[in-house]
């Protein structure tokens, strides 16, 4: 099969090539994002491989179909950027990588909590300039503090285990409480406000759905324990950034650590260091000493990239052999599986 890989970074190429060595597909690595202007690059390909910020709407899918593409292989879990109706109409199969490493995201979440709390990002810069003062670097012990986890699925449950290891009191909020976590001492709160009001650190690990869009709005900020740290490594639009900025200015939110941002599609994964960032909301975030931003890198470990490449190549090979990928994204008319939830994800 000829696979045209869009939005290729060096790391994508390295991991996919290693995995494809035994499979022997004809891979072509393309730097541009897939969109209406670039879709023609895939003429003659059997499959395209795309990531979170590629545009796979109806016009792109029609162009891909005209060029002979029969499979859209997402190298991520979310498929919100794919018009599944159009793909079904054009007879193009869609597949994804449903899970690659909850540990990668949970460990990065802990890294953000520790960095923000102990001001490692600030002390690193100070020490480089020969400033060894401690003023402004005061943190708190995580031990015995209350951490609230919103969403205890694959990532949230790993995170809960890590935080229990620190000796934290762990609260959780999830429409489907996890009995095994409860047995380990995690306390489930039926109301989000209860968790927000009691937690010294709040971490969001739920998917982006219509229900969770701007879940952290002005009301939620007001319900938060004054001075709490808010950590977000799920999907940007769960937070209303403007409401959180107001909370930071008021001191209601004691610190913000994010790996995702609601308008990240215009920023993340690119080197914009020679450009003016036009997003004033994002630029405002960067001015706070108590805000830490990483650019959607929580998933970015050797193990996760290995698993992404392994599953992607397995999907393509199964499609070639059996006519169906291992992890299909069901067409909208088909009944959705539990893991086929229409969410945005890393």
Write out the catalytic residue numbers: 235, 264, 296
Tell me which of 115, 146, 212, 317 binds ligand NAI, using CB under 6 A. 212
| Contact pattern from residue 175 through residue 194 relative to ligand NAI, giving x for each residue in contact according to CB under 6 A and a dash for the rest | xx------------------
Three-state SS for the chain is CEEEECCCCHHHHHHHHHHHHHHCCEEEECCCCCCCCCHHHHCCCCEEEECCCCCECHHHHHHHHHCCCCEEEECCCCCCCECHHHHHHCCCEEECCCCCCHHHHHHHHHHHHHHHHHCHHHHHHHHHCCCCCCCCCCCCCCCCCEEEEECCCHHHHHHHHHHHHCCCEEEEECCCCCHHHHHCCCEECCCHHHHHHHCCEEEECCCECCCCCCCECHHHHHHCCCCEEEEECCCHHHECHHHHHHHHHHCCEEEEEECCCCCHHHCCCCCCCCCCCCCHHHHHHCCCCCEEECCCCCCCCHHHHHHHHHHHHHHHHHHHHHCCCCCECCCCCCCCCHHHCCCECC
List the interface residues with ligand NAI, window 121-140 (CB under 6 A).
Answer: none
| Contact pattern from residue 87 through residue 106 relative to ligand NAI, giving x for each residue in contact according to CB under 6 A and a dash for the rest | ------------x--x--x-
Closest contact distance (angstroms) between CB of 249 and ligand NAI is 26
Closest contact distance (angstroms) between CB of 341 and ligand NAI is 6
Residue range at the interface with ligand NAI (CB under 6 A); choices 38-46, 53-61, 296-304, 315-323: 296-304
Q: Is 311 in the site for ligand NAI (CB under 6 A)?
A: no
Tell me which of 23, 80, 120, 153 binds ligand NAI, using CB under 6 A. 153
Closest contact distance (angstroms) between CB of 223 and ligand NAI is 14
Tell me which of 298, 305, 313, 316 binds ligand NAI, using CB under 6 A. 298
What are residue 138's phi and psi, to 5 degrees?
Answer: -65, 130
Residue range at the interface with ligand NAI (CB under 6 A); choices 83-91, 182-190, 263-271, 292-300: 292-300
List the interface residues with ligand NAI, window 227-256 (CB under 6 A).
Answer: 233-235
| Contact pattern from residue 157 through residue 176 relative to ligand NAI, giving x for each residue in contact according to CB under 6 A and a dash for the rest | ----------------xxxx
Closer residue to ligand NAI, CB minimum distance, 79 or 299: 299
The residues of the shown chain that bind ligand NAI, judged by CB under 6 A, are 99, 102, 105, 150-156, 173-176, 205-208, 211-212, 233-235, 259-260, 296, 298-299, 343-346
């Amino acid at each position: 099969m000829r696979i045209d890989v869009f939005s290729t970074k060096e790391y994508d190429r390295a991991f996919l090539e290693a995995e494809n060595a035994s499979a022997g597909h004809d891979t072509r690595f393309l730097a541009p994002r897939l969109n209406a202007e670039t879709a023609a690059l895939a003429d003659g390909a059997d499959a395209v491989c795309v990531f979170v910020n590629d545009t796979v709407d109806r016009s792109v899918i029609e162009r891909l179909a005209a060029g002979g593409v029969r499979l859209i292989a997402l190298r991520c879990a979310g498929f919100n950027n794919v018009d599944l109706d159009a793909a079904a109409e054009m007879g193009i199969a869609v597949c994804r990588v449903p899970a690659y490493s909850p540990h990668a995201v949970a460990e990065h979440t802990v890294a953000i909590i520790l960095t923000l709390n102990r001001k490692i990002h600030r002390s690193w810069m100070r020490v480089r300039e020969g400033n060894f003062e401690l003023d402004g670097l005061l943190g708190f012990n995580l031990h015995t503090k209350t951490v609230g986890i919103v969403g205890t699925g694959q990532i949230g449950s790993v995170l809960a285990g890590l935080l229990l290891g620190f000796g934290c009191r762990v609260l959780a909020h999830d429409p489907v409480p996890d009995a095994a976590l409860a047995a380990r001492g995690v306390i489930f709160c039926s109301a989000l406000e209860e968790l927000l009001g009691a937690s010294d650190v709040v971490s969001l690990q739920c998917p982006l759905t219509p229900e969770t869009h701007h879940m952290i709005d002005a009301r939620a900020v007001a319900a938060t324990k004054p001075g709490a740290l808010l950590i977000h490594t799920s999907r940007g639009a769960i937070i209303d950034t403007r409401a959180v900025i107001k909370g930071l200015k008021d001191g209601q939110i004691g610190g913000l650590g994010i790996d995702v941002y609601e308008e990240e599609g215009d920023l993340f994964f690119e080197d914009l260091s020679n450009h003016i960032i036009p997003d004033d909301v994002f630029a405002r975030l960067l001015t706070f000493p108590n805000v830490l931003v990483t650019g959607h890198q929580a998933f970015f470990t050797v193990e996760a990239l290995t698993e992404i490449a392994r599953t992607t190549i397995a999907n393509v090979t199964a499609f070639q052999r059996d006519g169906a990928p291992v992890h299909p994204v069901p067409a909208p008319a088909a009944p959705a599986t539990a893991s086929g939830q229409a969410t945005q994800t890393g």
